[in-house]
Amino acid sequence: MENNPFTFLILAAVVACIAWTITKEEVFRESREFCSLKSKSCNRIWKRKFFYVFTCEYCFSHYVTLLLLVITGYKLIYTDWVGLVIAGFTIVWTANIYMSLYSLIRIDLKKEKIEAEKTELQLKKIENTNQ
What percent of the chain is helix, strand and coil (3-state, nearest 5)?
Answer: 85, 0, 15
* pLDDT recorded at residue 42: 84
Type of residue at 12: A
- pTM for the whole thing? 0.76
Of 64, 58, 39, nearest to 50 by C-alpha is 39
SS3 125: helix
Q: What is the mean pLDDT of each run of 10 residues along the chain (131 residues)?
A: 79 94 88 87 87 87 95 90 94 94 83 82 78 70
Q: 50: burial class by Cβ within 10 Å (0-12, 13-18, 19+)? A: middle
- Predicted local confidence at residue 63, as pLDDT: 93
Q: Fill in the amino acid letter for 117.
A: E
Closest CA to 16 of 100, 109, 108: 100
